[in-house]
Chains A and B, each alone.
Chain A
Amino acid sequence: MFDKLSDRLGGVFDRLRGRGALNEADVREAMREVRVALLEADVALPVVRDFVEKVTEQAVGAQVLKSVTPGQQVVKIVNDALVEMLGAEQSDLDLAVAPPAIIMMVGLQGSGKTTTTAKIAKMLKAKQGKKVLMASLDVNRPAAQEQLATLGTQTEIATLPIMQGQQPVDIAKRAMQAAKLQGFDVLILDTAGRLHVDQQLMDEMHAVAKVSVPQEILLVVDSLTGQDAVNVAKSFGERVNVTGIVLTRMDGDARGGAALSMRAITGKPIKFAGVGEKLDAIEAFNPSRVAGRILGMGDVVGLVERATEMVEKEDADKLAAKMAKGQFDMEDLRMQFRQMSKMGGLGALAGMIPGMKKAKQAMDAGGMNDKLLVHMDAIIGSMTPKERAKPELLNAKRKIRIAKGSGMTVQDVNKLIKMHQEMASAMKRIRKMGGLKGLAAMFGGGKGGMGGGDLGGAMEGMHGLPPGALPPGFGGLPGMGGGGGMPPDLARLLSKKK
């Protein structure tokens, strides 16, 4: 989500690298670039000013540690400042009231309120076992209430029956009554989109908040939003007591400056991020993760979380055990392909791994796409179990048979074999380096090993990840090597911050 910003900062600090000392001129030069990068990323101007000032102050005259370059030192300072700006920790919904706890969704038209409503309801039901009722107060947009009803059917969440002609405040009252009588834990009020300069609709929103006294009022903001994000946040905040922000469309390629400004300007926590069209595509917003991503370190934690959710524990244990012995056969490779498709395909993965932006671009340019995974799977599928366990059996004759069976060419089969070899030897290397612990954690050891800002561990895992989890062609692509161009010593430096 913040690819371009990290590219930009990456460029700046590459230039800074290799110099002996961190002097004022260096810092100022870097900060000019940081400023433009942040502005291009749609970070609000006042926030940019504060940020640049603060970071410059901290960076000039900062002690450069022996083991890092000046550029790396600046990266750390920028990273820390970004984390601070985004808010230091995660913030969850506070629903600790006598039920029904009321959540009210507000925002501009088209920011994604209705979809977010359904996503939050689904999440509360699935993860916390809450009984949720959704009610649409949108009497303006045609079929808006039907949209929520449809989403309710899809997610198996109850929605308030639609009564044509009823006004928002009355719908809210009816919804509260229904939630109380039918014993719902949570009531989510989805309101109409409104421009913050539209007095009448802002009054209506105020009135709804007054009668329903929501426990949470979530302002839904499109992460594509430009400089206007700040006006929006301020205006909504003036009329209702916004308790948190939801940033939608974080799966887009916007540089996501809105995420940075929102927090700094409003002081409200960003509680969730919408990351896709599917109704489970919502995540808790993790400030330190996002800051890491801005700096080009990739969304490692996000990748791990998704991996642990998707990868079946058994498979992961099996793989880890095999790898511990230095074994890695075609079945394992196939398993990885399948897990990759489950995790959202190559594109989604590449977006999360540091240093993969260039690889992703090369991939797109070369016409590589998720079909590749299917093709590779087909090739392995055309092998006999023996061949899968012992790929060294594959001679020319067998290769021709496999190629025919899978509808691919012998070259494709060769490519797959070569990739398998590379990966197998990478596995051995990892074993020698003793990085297996991190790797095992990555494949199913749960979040424990990776969370808590244990960036060093995460980076170690990353060294294992690229050869282990990526398709052919990646090996030779630029920017792949050492965990995204950030040397491990820096990763350790970052992980040591207090």
Chain B
Amino acid sequence: MSENAGWKDRLFGGLKKTSGKLTENIAGLVTKAKLEARDLDEIEDALIASDLGPAMAAQIRDKIAAGRFDKGIDAEGIRQIVEDEVAAVLAPVASPLEIDAFPRPQVILVIGVNGSGKTTTIAKLAHLFLEQDYGVMLAAGDTFRAAAIGQLKVWAERLGVPIVTGPEGGDAAGVVFDAVKKATAEGIDVLIVDTAGRLQNKRELMDELAKIRRVLGRLNPAAPHNVVLVLDATTGQNALSQIETFKEVADVTGLVMTKLDGSARGGILVAAAKQFGLPIHAIGVGETIDDLRPFNAQDVARAISGGSL
């Protein structure tokens, strides 16, 4: 349990600034019996500052406005409404990444924009599956970025899992093809495929991703079983555009959000859940290998709303 408290600490610690902001605003204004439009504006602004986006923030504001009559809610009451609202949106999409593919292997394609934390997330996922006693293999599909292959190799060594690599600058789809063949032959349970970071408005790069998908499907029609989009918590509203485009091109099946241990609030998850309803598998809350946690809607909602542990 103490280990558990540790990561929650980081999650809530990082979100403190958000929360501070929200509660600070709220605390200042709920001594009055009723909330005026200006007070509601403040709540809405606080939510916007958490990256929830103007639309989602307006929705929550409406909820609070609707429930305020004659109740004279206090700060905790408002926080609870915010938490409940956020949790209600997030709860349906909380769903861990399960390994159940048969015939083996279950192929997980990990994609995202540059610098979102794909490679690190892959290492953390591999660690997670190893703990569950699955056989894991990695495929170094990022043949573009300098030393990306090296980075994944280091992780493979540390974790003691096999890795399939190709030459830097080589064809990513080729590496992936080899990896699936090898994983199938060796009876590996989970094959996690790294890909180069790409901005979603780069057509050629998105085409390449579609190609990787096609190649995977050629060897095993069910592959990739999961296409995980890695989102950086510091990303603002552009995350929605990322999800939309990657979903279209690569058929994203789930999300992982990284870097939630900073002061970034990841409020965009709320808007994303509302708009796309894609499963959120896990959140990254630190730099060490076991810092990937299953996504828990209530915890994140409480953190965003400024509640304590």
Q: Which residues of A contact B (CB under 8 A)?
A: 36, 39-42, 44-45, 108-112, 140-144, 146-151, 154, 195-197, 222, 224-229, 231-232, 235, 249, 251-255, 257-258, 277, 347, 369-370
Contact = CB atoms under 8 A, between A and B. Distances in A.
Nearest to B287: A140
Given A110-B114, A277-B144, A197 B13 contact: yes
B239 to A, nearest CB: 8
A277 B262 CA distance: 26
A143 B234 contact: no
A489 B232 CA distance: 44
Nearest to B50: A227
When A and B form their complex, which 10 residue pairs have the shortest distance between CB atoms, in order from nearest? A226-B236, A110-B115, A42-B236, A142-B154, A150-B146, A147-B147, A143-B150, A143-B151, A254-B238, A228-B264
Interface string B197-230: 0011111000000000000000000000000000
B35 interface: no
A195 B201 contact: no
B49 interface: yes
A196 B262 contact: yes
Contacts of A197: 13-14, 261-263
A277 to B, nearest CB: 7
Contacts of B181: none
Contact of B200 (A36, A141, A253, A369): A253
Given A110-B115, A226-B268, A252-B200, A42 B237 contact: yes
Interface in B1-38: 13-14, 17
A252 to B, nearest CB: 4
Contacts of A227: 48-51, 236, 265
Contacts of A111: 115
Interface string B43-76: 0010011110110000000000000000000000
B265 to A, nearest CB: 7
A197 B11 CA distance: 12
Interface string B92-128: 0000000000000000000001111100100000000
Contact of A231 (B13, B148, B259, B263): B263
A141 B118 CA distance: 13
A148 to B, nearest CB: 8
Contact of A143 (B45, B48, B147): B147
B194 to A, nearest CB: 13
Contact of A39 (B48, B113, B150, B239): B48
Contacts of A141: 120, 151
B199 A226 contact: no
B234 A147 contact: no
Contacts of A41: 237
Contacts of B154: 142-143
Nearest to A347: B203
Contacts of A110: 114-117, 232, 259
Contacts of B53: 39-40
A141 B150 CA distance: 11
A226 B150 contact: no
Contacts of A112: 114-115
A430 to B, nearest CB: 31
Nearest to A118: B146
B262 A257 contact: no
Contacts of A195: 14, 259, 261-262
9 contacts: A39-B54, A41-B237, A110-B117, A144-B147, A224-B238, A249-B114, A252-B113, A252-B199, A347-B201
B241 interface: yes
Contacts of B296: none
A229 B234 CA distance: 8
Contacts of B116: 110
A144 B154 CA distance: 11
Contact of B234 (A154, A226, A253): A226
A111 B235 CA distance: 11
A275 to B, nearest CB: 11
A108 B234 contact: yes
Nearest to B198: A277
Contacts of B54: 36, 39-40
Contacts of A235: 263
